[in-house]
């Protein structure tokens, strides 16, 4: 055991800050108008984002130009095009 662990000062491993949110919640993170960092989730219809990345700008939506959090919502949500399944 190292000295830090014995002293109780060892830093615990960082918990994952990746969050998965279903698009059917219609939040900014899954909206085509949101400009924050994200990626399509492993499961269809989900979005993954880092909860520590902060906010992203609303582009051409009702909050145009303002920074919005990934969990914010509005009445003009449009599904993010990256989540649209390809046509057969």
Residue-wise pLDDT for 1-30, tens only, equals 444 444 554 444 456 799 999 999 999 999
34 in Cβ contact with 47 (< 8 Å): no
For residue 83, what pLDDT is reported? 95
pLDDT in tens, 27-45: 999 999 999 999 999 999 9
d(CA 63, CA 74): 9
Which DSSP string corresponds to 38-69?
-EE-SSTTEEEEETTS--EEB-SSTTTTSEE-
Its domain, for residue 54, covers: 16-83
Residue for token pair 């993170």: 29
Q: Would you say residue 77 lies in a domain? A: yes
Q: Could you tell me the CA-to-CA distances from 47 to 7, 11, 38, 63 in Å, in that order? A: 41, 30, 7, 21
Counted domains in the chain: 1
Q: Would you say residue 39 lies in a domain? A: yes
Q: Would you say residue 11 lies in a domain? A: no
For residue 4, what pLDDT is reported? 44
pLDDT in tens, 52-85: 988 999 999 999 999 999 999 999 999 999 998 7
Q: Would you say residue 75 lies in a domain? A: yes
pTM for the full predicted model: 0.78
């Amino acid at each position: 055991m190292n000295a830090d662990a014995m002293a109780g000062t060892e830093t615990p491993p960082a918990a994952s800050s990746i969050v998965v949110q279903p698009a059917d919640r219609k939040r900014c993170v899954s909206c085509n108008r949101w400009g924050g960092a994200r990626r399509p989730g492993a499961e269809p219809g989900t979005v993954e984002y880092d909860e520590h990345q902060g906010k992203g700008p609303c582009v051409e939506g009702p909050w145009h130009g303002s920074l919005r959090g990934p969990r914010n919502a509005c009445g003009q949500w449009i599904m993010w095009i990256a989540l649209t399944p390809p046509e057969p």
